Structure 1
Amino acid sequence: MPFDSASPTLSLPRWRSLSADEGDCHLSLVLEGSPLVRVRLQRGETLQVQLEEHARDRVQQALWAVCYWLFARDPGCQRLTWQLHQPPQEALNSGLLIATQVKGQYLCERSLFWQLPQPWLGQPLAGVYPQQMQISDGKRHPRRAPKPRGEVYRRFDARLGAWVSLRTLEIDQDLERFNRWQNNPRVLNFWQEGGSLEQHREYLNKLEADPHSLTLIGCFDDQPFAYFEAYWAKEDRIAPFYAVDDYDRGIHMLVGEELHRGPHKVASWLSALVHYLFLDDPRTQRVVAEPRADNGKMIGYMHDQCFHCEKEFDFPHKRAALMILGRERFFEGCKLL
């Protein structure tokens, strides 16, 4: 378990502090210094949770906080069974809780909890962007929503004790950093995109104008360490090589800062990146990638995060491995904390 009784504090998204008094049979949570909720716990085949008291008019927040605490404390916990006197309508409507055939009994499933878009996303979803098919460069695909700006995702990673976040790349702010990363010999070996500042400005301007691509900067505790490109696979060069769906997303990944290399860091940022893409549009059923087939280290990291290698294939510039992770597999085997 990532926590023990000596560290009864867990950071929440959007810089909030959640602390607890927890025993075998009880849990009390305090949010930003104010009592939020008290529940009774009974451990069995599933963890039984009985609501005893909560802050007035904050029942949804109280239910969410208890689920978050218990799932984050124990990555092996897959389901909570709640006992409630009143039907939690908001929680039922959102998918936080599921009604059962037993009166007053409700379930919270780990695989559903992590699909709730808030508070992980930087901007609340106003609804699914409407679908209208169009043709560009001879490819038929849905019209894409306008690109976001600023921070798009934030989560406290309990394994690292650090914030992992994603923000959109800003060319004037990030150009020198991007240039330095791309000219790193280790990165250059796989990306082959070394060049001058002006060449990289042109590269990023082209991506900024492309509706199918989104450029992102990955941060740990708000310090940039990586560059990611997320793209809609239907319009991408990868599309002819597999049975692509309209809302598949693809990723290109680059860790620029040596301090943030290693499997424990990859587990954090790769799960965050995939989590963001699945939350960004609930119609996205797969995330794909095409690393070089000889990049065994990266392929191994992706296997650790539940990707599978569908096949190897030839791009004009490289032999690639087609790596795929399905939505159901990601959330059912959810390694988020």
Structure 2
Amino acid sequence: MSNLNDLSILPLPTGPVLNADESDNRLTLTLEGQPLLHLRLERGETLHLHLLAPQQVPAARAVWAACYWLFARQPECQQLTWHLAHAPDDALRSGLLLATGVAGQFLCERTLFWQLPQPWLSQPLSGSYPQQMVISTGKRHPVRAPKPRGEVYRRFDARLGAWVSLRTLEVEVDLARFNRWQNSTRVANFWQESGSLEQHREYLGKLDADPHSLTLIGCFDDEPFAYFEAYWAKEDRIAPFYDAGDYDRGIHMLVGEEHHRGPHKVASWLSALVHYLFLDDPRTQRVVAEPRADNARMISYMQNQCFHCEKEFDFPHKRAALMILGRERFFERCGLA
């Protein structure tokens, strides 16, 4: 794992690398070798940021880059106080900066920063999709946007020192590894989906045709290591067991590659998966899961990422723990770096 104190660069999903030269009271940022921002840092109960050229109007992307650097460098930092003669309008309109009652003073809140969808999302928000309620299989729910294809999320995990990304599953590309993962003794014990290539082709085909489910492959540094199913809870079998919201999302999780197991890896991919689902549609207020009630290790990992166990309940095939993570709780305690 990387030491955040040694952090000097942050790659961005769009390609360029953010470089920083930081001392106790100075921060200089460059992007693709070009100067981006020069700041004086005033440290105290909160971190105050002053431009070295006070009358400068920084570009919104420069303000974003400085906030990203400082929040990634200091995961415990919850708020940045900017001192600007003029704040960029785009930063105020997006929520990156908040005006205060003090002239020339603006705030950036961690809980708001990580809700900004770009550059983490690789595709447009489905949250712009209009709402229309329909009834299918006896359940009333919103019409869902068409499923994305390809990569949907990418972020450099500064703690891990690796890219974490999510892409949609492609049957012809991923069938063999999905089959291998499902037939491992460890995975089969919890998923109970071992079978042949043709059985798994049929399994994945049904999910692909189901508008309420999205199949994803998790990657570290572009190496596939995990399979995830994200589903709209309102149309799912879980809905009768709690008060499911119209835009609640649920998750099923499978780590297939043994060398990518461990609590530090779970902390990275689970937070990325939840982050993606909350960004994908800003109307999503909760992410839920229903691991087997005796899967103490996974339940513990989820609790470490701020999920709480609402209750245990019985599916026809298993005793399950209802794990819930609310949007407000996730972003208020956001440990992304």
TM-score range for the pair, normalised by the shorter chain length: over 0.9
Residue aligning to 1:13: 13
Q: Distance in 2 between matches of 1:160 and 1:127?
A: 30
Residue aligning to 2:270: 270
**Are positions 1:305 and 2:305 aligned together?**
yes
Q: RMSD of the TM alignment (CA)?
A: 1.5
Q: Which digits, 9 at most, give the CA deviation of each residue in 1:120-154, with x for residues without a partner?
A: 00113376211100000000000000000000000
Q: Distance in 2 between matches of 1:90 and 1:29?
A: 20
One-letter amino acid of the structure 1 residue matched with residue 178 of structure 2: F
Relative to structure 1, is the Cα distance of residues 91 and 308 closer, same or farther in structure 2, using a 3 angstrom cutoff?
Answer: same
Paired residues of 1:48 and 1:80 also in contact (CA < 8 A)? yes
Residue aligning to 1:142: 142
- Classify the secondary structure of the residue corresponding to 2:128: coil
Deviation at 1:7, TM superposition (A): 4.2
Residue aligning to 2:252: 252
One-letter amino acid of the structure 2 residue matched with residue 134 of structure 1: V
Residue aligning to 1:321: 321
Residue aligning to 2:178: 178
Paired residues of 2:207 and 2:215 also in contact (CA < 8 A)? yes
| Structure 1 consecutive aligned stretches of length 4 or more whose deviation exceeds 6 Å | none
Deviation at 1:12, TM superposition (A): 2.1
- Classify the secondary structure of the residue corresponding to 1:276: helix
Deviation at 1:88, TM superposition (A): 1.9
Deviation at 1:335, TM superposition (A): 1.0
Residue aligning to 1:237: 237
Q: Distance in 2 between matches of 1:176 and 1:10?
A: 34
Residue aligning to 1:224: 224
Range that drifts further, 132-141 or 81-90: 81-90
Q: Distance in 2 between matches of 1:286 and 1:179?
A: 30
Residue aligning to 1:104: 104
Q: Distance in 2 between matches of 1:175 and 1:87?
A: 50
Q: Which digits, 9 at most, give the CA deviation of each residue in 1:78-124, with x for residues without a partner?
A: 00000111132100000100001111110000000000000000113
Structure 1 unaligned spans of 5+: none
Relative to structure 1, is the Cα distance of residues 127 and 270 closer, same or farther in structure 2, using a 3 angstrom cutoff?
Answer: closer
Deviation at 1:32, TM superposition (A): 1.4
One-letter amino acid of the structure 1 residue matched with residue 274 of structure 2: V
Residue aligning to 1:43: 43
Deviation at 1:2, TM superposition (A): 3.8
Paired residues of 2:126 and 2:145 also in contact (CA < 8 A)? no
Range that drifts further, 211-220 or 12-21: 12-21
Deviation at 1:51, TM superposition (A): 2.2
Relative to structure 1, is the Cα distance of residues 53 and 154 closer, same or farther in structure 2, using a 3 angstrom cutoff?
Answer: farther
Paired residues of 1:2 and 1:74 also in contact (CA < 8 A)? no
Q: Distance in 2 between matches of 1:124 and 1:245?
A: 23
Residue aligning to 1:203: 203
Residue aligning to 2:59: 59
One-letter amino acid of the structure 1 residue matched with residue 46 of structure 2: T
Q: Distance in 1 between matches of 2:176 and 2:306?
A: 34
- Classify the secondary structure of the residue corresponding to 1:214: strand
TM-score with structure 2 setting the length: 0.97
Range that drifts further, 127-136 or 193-202: 127-136
1:280-291 equivalences under 5 Å are: 280-291=280-291
- Classify the secondary structure of the residue corresponding to 2:28: strand
One-letter amino acid of the structure 1 residue matched with residue 122 of structure 2: G
**Are positions 1:3 and 2:10 aligned together?**
no
Aligned length: 335
Q: Distance in 2 between matches of 1:58 and 1:25?
A: 19
- Classify the secondary structure of the residue corresponding to 2:330: helix
Q: Which digits, 9 at most, give the CA deviation of each residue in 1:240-277, with x for residues without a partner?
A: 00011100000000000000000000000000000000
Deviation at 1:44, TM superposition (A): 1.4
Relative to structure 1, is the Cα distance of residues 127 and 142 closer, same or farther in structure 2, using a 3 angstrom cutoff?
Answer: closer
Residue aligning to 1:70: 70
Deviation at 1:36, TM superposition (A): 0.9
TM-score with structure 1 setting the length: 0.97
Q: Distance in 1 between matches of 2:106 and 2:57?
A: 20
Paired residues of 2:290 and 2:323 also in contact (CA < 8 A)? yes
Paired residues of 1:37 and 1:53 also in contact (CA < 8 A)? no
